[in-house]
Amino acid sequence: MRYRLGIDSGGSKTLGILEAIDNGRSERWEARVGNTNHHSCPPDIAQHRITRLIAMLCREGDIEPGDLEGICFAGAGIDSDADTRLVTGWLREMGCDGRLLVCSDALAALAGANGTLSGGMVLSGTGSIALGIDREGGVVRVGGWGYKLDDAGSGYGTAILGLRAAYEAMDGRGKPTAIGAAMLEAVGAADMHALLDWLYAPECTPDRIARLAGCVSGLSGSDDVADEILDQAADGLTRLAVTLVSRLGLEQVSLGLCGGMLQNVKPLSDRVLQRLADEPHIGAHLPRHSAAEGALILLEQSEENNPCDTPSSI
């Protein structure tokens, strides 16, 4: 029996899939934990959650970490060799002495979206990024520079626009909107001043703020301000997609729309699909597989080829 593990580490949640393969047959187990991006939560907490995730899956499969033939850890925030070394060290500390592939979660999302490391994808979750493979096999990245600089069309970006609109409406600077009331209910705040305390508390991380995007999308079709924010988010994601495809230099690009905002927020994905329908070189679609399954695809592909061909950072 061979055991492989694919992990999609995100800024809001982390999904792991343990796969057992025997004579062409396979069995899979899944487990979830919270944010394991060491840039947006304390590294010791990220390490603890990763350790717990692997322990949960090993119990499901009745194995030890050392029995894992290979692990692909595809993580949000894996942007440098230092990030790769950090996560690799955590996995080795657990006794994972098999083959390790540590890379960006965007690469796993791309592999999952298209079934192989090819084409392109736009990801909108807590953050946002576009990624693709050009005609020479190189990785092309657009956006994804973090919540302080970028992340147009992301959960965090949408929530911030909603918060801004709510406070401008309270001041009388902006249009009336029900977004503020929806956010008060979502966080259990008594009034807009209490919501501000929640927002500026040290424990209010970007992934927590991103959850408020649902207060905007939930008002689609009934609140003009919410619709304007969703239009702005769709415009931002469309710009990511069009810029990516232009840089890839391919005649036709299969483009996956990935991440919780695009896969679970229909008012946003419908807007993006409508805009991309006018682009003749783009075949946009929802993902064929999850990013965690994409991590397993990357692991298999790196077995077939030189592991160095799979980039660790983007």
Q: What is the pLDDT of residues 1-45, one digit of tens each?
A: 999 999 999 877 899 999 999 988 889 999 999 999 998 889 999
In a domain, 46, yes or no: yes
By the 8 A CB rule, do 15 and 292 touch?
Answer: yes
> What secondary structure does DSSP assign to 39-68, as a single string?
TTS-HHHHHHHHHHHHHHHHHHHT--GGG-
Q: Are 84 and 159 contained in the same domain?
A: no
What is the distance of C-alpha 85 from the center of its chain?
21
CB 74 within 8 A of CB 108: yes
Q: What is the predicted pLDDT for the residue at 77?
A: 79
Residues 49, 89: one domain? yes
Report whether pLDDT(313) > 60.
no
Same-domain check for residues 211 and 79: no
Residue 314 lies in a domain: no
Concatenate the DSSP letters of all residues of 227-265 into one string.
HHHHHHHHHHHHHHHHHHHHHHT-S-EEEEEESHHHHH-
Q: Which domain holds residue 69?
A: 2-112+290-309
For residue 286, the model assigns a pLDDT of 94
Which tens digits make up the pLDDT trace of 81-128? Answer: 999 999 999 999 999 999 999 998 889 999 999 999 999 999 999 899
For the residues 281-300, what does the mean pLDDT come to? Answer: 95
Domain check: are 273 and 295 in the same one?
no
- Do 128 and 251 fall within a single domain? yes
pLDDT digits (tens, 9 = 90+) for 221-275: 999 999 999 999 999 999 999 999 999 999 999 999 998 999 999 999 999 999 9
Rounded to whole angstroms, the Cα distance separating 308 from 314 reads 14
CA-CA distance, 98 to 69, in Å (whole number)? 5
d(CA 184, CA 1): 51
- The number of folded domains in the chain is 2
Q: For residue 280, give the CATH number of its domain.
A: 3.30.420.40
Q: Within this chain, do residues 204 and 274 fall inside the same structural domain, yes or no?
A: yes
289 Cα distance to chain centroid = 13
Strand partners, 16: 7, 31
